[in-house]
A and B are shown apart, each in its own frame.
Chain A
Amino acid sequence: MKKLIIYSLGLLTCYHLHAQVPVPAPDQAEPILLKGATIHLGNGEVIENGNVGFDKGLITMVSSEAVDVAGYKVIDSRGKHIYPGFILVNTPLGISEVSSVRAMSDHAEQGEYNPNVRSQIAYNTDSENIPAFRFNGILLAESTPAGGIVSGTSSVMELEGWNWEDATHTKDVAIHLNWPERMRGDFDYNTYTYSRIPNEKYDEEIAGLEKLFDEAKGYLSLSHADKNIKLEAMRGLFDGSQLLVVHTDQAKTMVESIKFARERGVQRVAIAGGDETLHIAGFLAENKVPVIIPAPHRVPERDDDDYDLPYKLGALLTQKGVSVTLSHEGMLGNSRNLPFYAGTVVAHGLGKEEALKMITSNPAAMLGISDRVGTLEKGKEATLFISEGDALDMRTNNLIRAFIKGKEITLDGRQQWLYKKYSEKYGH
């Protein structure tokens, strides 16, 4: 017995010093009212000196007037800013940890057509990226498979939970498709430059996709056929319950892929593409196709482009009526800068509240979860945070409290613990 106690103590000590990630928070125990803050609703509106109340995980009030606060634990938030939790889409969060370590990557399955592989069940709630992302305001993520032509099925996950079941916000929201390229890369070893030349296999690759989609559609209406888990996994595309996200960088293939999907009865399509979305902005707006663009923090795709094209792309598309969602490509750990991507869009032509939509209500609407998250409205989930200042600017993005479905989560993670540890060592 004595031995057991010592063991337990030892475990506890270890836990505090070396915990991988913070302890998940318990469910909301009492109604909470955040009082007197600047509230950024996420739908383009701001309420100055307003209040947000929530109970049992759901928002009970968002108001600018004095309200009945009986029974609420009041948190004075004067001078602070409240935002809906930011949503990071199209990310390997939870299924890839350190990209250069093969054993730590679970985001790209073998094979070309993998609609049936699902990120939800591989989502690692102990990923060390999670606390670092939360620290900057990202509270929801679309954990997304990559690779092949049909990469797999993504799920929206909360950045909190003991296990993937706990952390699931909405499972199986979208299937991701990497559209074949009309022009393929050609590397010149003499000059170490890339150029693009016509892809000889394009028609063949498209034929493969046509076959897959046509056969899936046929299969789903056949009265008896052998069970096919791949085709089964595509059901949601045809009944509208799932989004098809097409990844392609060329304007022509964007148009082709949208027509392809529409012709085959795919109900909801989004495009994940770069600068060329701008060339067909009218088409995208007219067809109500939402667009996921990569981080503005990248260089222009072409030498001749305006140096600020990636910065202003989001603003230009929005001005043409396209619903834009910001995302991150490349080193996963840097996705924590998502709020600053929206800030960059502000610096290059869009209002702050409009830019905020690109990481809140726009992704929520695109993923079909806007009835629950994406804006601060009565009845929606209390997934939100309080920041000392403007959360889109790194100078003032400073989270004080954050809630996921009303649960107040721990903001500090290992990075903060190490900061404290060494500050103490040096006596700073």
Chain B
Amino acid sequence: MMKTGLATALSFLLSFSVIAQDSFPINGVKDKRANAIALINATIVTANNQVIENGTLVIREDKIESVGQNVNVPAGYVKIDLKGKYVYPSFIDVYTNYGLPAPEQSGRRSFSGPEQIASDTKGAYNANEAIKSAYNAAEEFSIDQKTAESLRKAGFGTVLSFKKDGVARGTSTLVTLAGDNDNTVMLHAGAAAHYSLNKGSSSQQYPISAMGHIALLRQTYMDAKWYQDLSPRPFTDQSLEAWLASQHLPQIFEATGWMTLLRADKVGDEFGIQYIIKGGGDEYQRVSEVKNTGAKLILPLKYPDAFEVEDPLDAMSVSLADMKHWELAPANPGILEKNGVVFAITAADAKPGDFLANLRKAVMYGLSKQQALRALTQIPASMLGVYSRVGSLDNNKLANLLVTSGDIFEADTEIYQNWVQGKLYEIKPLEDNRSGEYGLQLDGQEYNLHITGKSGSYKGEIKVNDTTDLAVNVKFDNELITMSFSTDVENKEKSLWRMSGWSTADGFEGKAEGMDGHLVDWSATFQEKLVKKEKKKEEQALELGNIIYPFVAQGAVELPKQETILIKNGTVWTNEEEGVLKNTDVLLKGGKIEKIGKGLSDKADRIIDAEGKHITSGIIDEHSHLAASSINDIATNSSMVRIGDVLNSEDVGLYRALAGGITTLQVLHGSANPIGGQSALIKPRWGVAPEDLKIQGADGFIKFALGENVKRSRNTSSIRYPQTRMGVEQVYVDAFTNALEYEKEWKAYNSLSAKQKANAKPPRKDLVHETMLEIIRGKRFISCHSYVQSEINMLMKVAEQFGFRINTFTHILEGYKVADIMKEHGAGASSFSDWWNYKWEVRYAIPYNAAIMHKEGVTTAINSDSGEMIRRLNQEAAKSIKYGGLSEEDALKLVTLNPAKLLHLDDRMGSIKKGKDADIVVWSDHPLSIYARAEKTIIEGAVYFDMEKDKEQREVIKKERARLIARMKDAKKAGAKTSLRSSAVKEDFHCEDVLGWETDLSDR
């Protein structure tokens, strides 16, 4: 039990200033006192998880002087006996904004007002407002007592503080959570440099998309290098100066989950930088990809609330993915640990008050205590290169430590004290936990007294038998105790005992008064600690669901594998000279089409009986926006942005597209700009990581757009150039002209000798010019959103002027008016079958468009631009039979061979021919009939969609939902917070969507 006299020592310590700076003026006489303290008899846990029993830790001023089992305490040191207590190094959080003003609110950016083209920041700073690299947190830092207290309560002693604003966020400062002096708490002024893919308070229009942020970052790295190499500087850019000056620091990147984590790491790889990446809490969903980044992580302990699922109708709007994440989020750190990912833990993204509970939950869900402690001490300290000063209980390190009632990772353990730089901050009075089972002797009776709870909230109970308990009021005041209870439940007032007492070596004793007014002696003897029942329950419940790929309901634990498949006796639409072959077999081997013929045999892994069924090559969509996290950036020339940077493998639209026979799609940038971003050609390999969706070796494509969208016609206050079709032409002429100038400059520079180069100024690398040059030089191909004939004709003339050809006009609803000119130019067309009249420029769209262009000899495809229509492009193709009388074979080619040609993939796809990719659909009926259903969709010999398997999966989904709903209900019963809300639904993007909130289904 507690030693008397300690309280006095503590109050002395609490009021005394550990360090003072000699350079500061004193108003009075010098009053510098020594800070010399010894913590004795403690169980000391160092960051390396060495446990020193009966240890001593000696503090002198702000540092640890010595630590160990047999340490001599020099004379004059105040001794604090910590018998039964634990001492830990205090925690380090490398992801806070402690002591800094909150960034300005970014708010909603209006799309109805005039665009802000240039930066609003005054001064010689970067051209883009989101590059806030000149920000230095140390300049703004000042102690914030309230936040410091809440962080200390959660166990932290040292934090890294930065301003969460901008793509480049400047530098952070490392400070302790001591509360006395801004100067002494700051350990390191410029501790790390910070980045994100969120422009924060910048009101400048560009960048607006996930891919735009990446492009800006990429360009800024290139600009900084160019700027650095120039002497004298071409101009002053304080943002770039600061950027360059902070490159040697730890580079910390904020990701919001595994997907942005992988994107950030990829940018780092391009420039030889290994970021430390702050995660989002869902990294377990792609742990091998996360591990392969080699990045050290900073993990938040962010667990979603349980959903309110009592009402089955309400519960239906909660997705399985959200329920699974609710279950698995606390296992994230444990899973990463098992996979060898190095990480620190941060309190960010959750309330500081929940931190310890969340941490303990992570431990319960598989994080080892050793790793948990390292992730809060040694690892963050090492990340910042300050392990010599903080992060463990070693000699000469700062005396940043915690005194706890026991193992800090156990549920009931309390933090009593948090010492920062040798200074004590009391969290709770240092006392023993009184809970336990006591034998109470009172008035000749023996009672079984249980005291539960902890300091400030004790509860008492007397167990009479299995069903009857007597409530006991119990209150402690340091060494004193007051209790009362009634022995007779039926007759409470008459059987009341009021008791007063004090602690003894093995419990309590004192005086009690019954209703007869006599004082009698009582005593309570400690017998044993109470075993926690709830904890056992939780442990039993720890059977977690599977991790599935992708992490949505239709995902699976195992990905489909490439097989040798023999499809027997189908009606085969070859798209070749052979035409449609009845009763024919197709053999798929090694991901390719091996053989087409009758009566084939092979020891295939799988034989598909296709009698009465139709076999076609996979459907190809020239124009889709599935599987992209963003669609449009907003710069008039956005050619620097790349859809391939922001692919989203978890888009359920991919699965739905597979169920419609899709095996290849072009994920295009949107149509907000005359020159849009670069597209990605993918196969919907359901379950793979984003990078693995891409078709290797495919040519590069880019989106252009014409007409109402690029003129921003629907925004009446738009000021962005161009506002007319005349201006649109000039945007192109300007871009290509400048690109040629740029090429000339580089050619001139590159032709210099090494010696000459040393004295010459290198031109600036510009991602926009580079892309425009790729187009002129035939290395990147245009797919241009287009409607009316004048602009279609115009763009062909611009291309001819610069010596290249437009690859594809997409949408091209008035292509029928200029089909002959397109043919002559060599442009292809990818159109809607029958869309029209949703805006002015499509007033004269006709459903015969595809047929006319096809008949005129233009390579013509039918596309979707829709997560819905991509599910039944075969039917859209069939409309060209009704409208324009195409043959059935030609109609099918509109969604297979022809788009393959437009995407330069016809040597690998688009027909059933030996040697081509085994991208095959098995249809239940004539593939151009509305009654046909895709039964199997095969990509390179792997069955990615199978109607039968889909049926089985529906049962799996139902069972898994039921299991999780039961768990949520249990959690609610056990007191977990729940909220009534549906799962989030990602917008189905169309080409006019700017980040998804301009969606208007009635307008493309």
Chain A residues within an 8 Å CB radius of B630:
192
Instruction: Tell me, rounded to whole Å, the shortest Cβ–Cβ distance linking A183 to chain B.
Output: 6
Q: How far is the CA of A394 from the CA of B874 in the complex (A)?
A: 11
Q: Contacts A191-B984, A307-B950, A415-B846 hold; do A128 and B656 have CB atoms under 8 A apart? A: no
Chain B residues within an 8 Å CB radius of A340:
875, 930
B929 within 8 A of A: yes
Instruction: Tell me, rounded to whole Å, the shortest Cβ–Cβ distance linking A125 to chain B.
Output: 16
Q: How far is the CA of A410 from the CA of B925 in the complex (A)?
A: 34
A299 within 8 A of B: yes
Choose the segment among A36-44, A54-62, A257-265, A418-426 that binds chain B (4+ C-beta atoms closer than 8 Å).
Answer: A418-426
User: In the bound complex, do residue A98 and residue B838 qualify as a contact, i.e. CB atoms below 8 Å apart?
Assistant: yes
A308 within 8 A of B: yes
**A400-428 contacts to B (CB < 8 Å):** 415-416, 418-419, 422-423, 425-426, 428
Instruction: Tell me, rounded to whole Å, the shortest Cβ–Cβ distance linking A280 to chain B.
Output: 9
Q: B837, B871, B997: which has the most chain A beta carbons within 10 Å?
A: B837
Q: Chain B 603-640, CB within 8 Å of chain A: the 1/0 string?
A: 00000000000000000000000000010000000000
Chain B residues within an 8 Å CB radius of A347:
925, 930-933
User: In the bound complex, do residue A307 and residue B961 qualify as a contact, i.e. CB atoms below 8 Å apart?
Assistant: no
B108 within 8 A of A: yes
B16 within 8 A of A: no
**A309-364 contacts to B (CB < 8 Å):** 329-334, 336-337, 340, 343-344, 346-348
A74 within 8 A of B: no
A223 within 8 A of B: no
Report how many A-B pairs have Cβ atoms within 8 Å: 190
Q: Chain B 847-874, CB within 8 Å of chain A: the 1/0 string?
A: 1100010011000000000011101100
Partner of B988, one of A297, A299, A336: A299
User: In the bound complex, do residue B997 and residue A100 qualify as a contact, i.e. CB atoms below 8 Å apart?
Assistant: no
Partner of B313, one of A193, A252, A336, A344: A252
User: In the bound complex, do residue B838 and residue A343 qualify as a contact, i.e. CB atoms below 8 Å apart?
Assistant: no
Choose the segment among A78-86, A149-157, A195-203, A224-232 that binds chain B (4+ C-beta atoms closer than 8 Å).
Answer: A195-203
Instruction: Tell me, rounded to whole Å, the shortest Cβ–Cβ distance linking A135 to chain B.
Output: 9
Chain A residues within an 8 Å CB radius of B553:
303-304
Q: How far is the CA of A332 from the CA of B837 in the complex (A)?
A: 8
**A177-195 contacts to B (CB < 8 Å):** 183, 186-195
Instruction: Tell me, rounded to whole Å, the shortest Cβ–Cβ distance linking B561 to chain A.
Output: 22
B820 within 8 A of A: yes
Instruction: Tell me, rounded to whole Å, the shortest Cβ–Cβ distance linking B841 to chain A.
Output: 10
B591 within 8 A of A: no
**A286-310 contacts to B (CB < 8 Å):** 297-300, 302-304, 306-308
Choose the segment among B265-273, B317-325, B419-427, B503-511 that binds chain A (4+ C-beta atoms closer than 8 Å).
Answer: B317-325
Chain B residues within an 8 Å CB radius of A329:
1001
A251 within 8 A of B: yes
Choose the segment among B518-526, B661-669, B975-983 that binds chain A (4+ C-beta atoms closer than 8 Å).
Answer: B975-983
Choose the segment among B110-118, B147-155, B879-887 that binds chain A (4+ C-beta atoms closer than 8 Å).
Answer: B879-887
A interface size (C-beta, 8 A): 66
**A109-141 contacts to B (CB < 8 Å):** 128-129, 132
User: In the bound complex, do residue B837 and residue A98 qualify as a contact, i.e. CB atoms below 8 Å apart?
Assistant: yes
Q: Chain B 813-851, CB within 8 Å of chain A: the 1/0 string?
A: 000110110000000000000111111100110111000
Q: Contacts A192-B997, A193-B987, A346-B931 hold; do A332 and B1002 have CB atoms under 8 A apart? A: yes
Partner of B995, one of A192, A330, A334: A192
Chain B residues within an 8 Å CB radius of A129:
837
Chain A residues within an 8 Å CB radius of B884:
419
Q: A183, A303, A308, A333: which has the most chain B beta carbons within 10 Å?
A: A303
Chain A residues within an 8 Å CB radius of B878:
393-395
Binding site for A on B (CB under 8 A): 108, 198, 256, 313, 316-317, 319-321, 552-554, 630, 652-653, 655-656, 659, 714, 816-817, 819-820, 834-840, 843-844, 846-848, 852, 855-856, 867-869, 871-872, 875, 878-879, 881-884, 888, 925-926, 928-933, 950, 954, 957, 961, 980-988, 995-997, 1000-1004
A-B residue pairs in contact (CB < 8 Å), sample of 13: A98-B839, A100-B838, A183-B981, A190-B198, A195-B981, A196-B317, A303-B985, A307-B656, A331-B835, A331-B1003, A418-B844, A423-B855, A426-B856
Binding site for B on A (CB under 8 A): 97-101, 128-129, 132, 183, 186-198, 250-252, 276, 279, 297-300, 302-304, 306-308, 329-334, 336-337, 340, 343-344, 346-348, 392-395, 397-398, 415-416, 418-419, 422-423, 425-426, 428
Kindly list the 10 A-B residue pairs having the minimum CB-CB distance in the complex, ordered from nearest.
Answer: A193-B984, A343-B930, A333-B837, A196-B982, A419-B848, A100-B839, A304-B553, A99-B1002, A192-B996, A195-B984
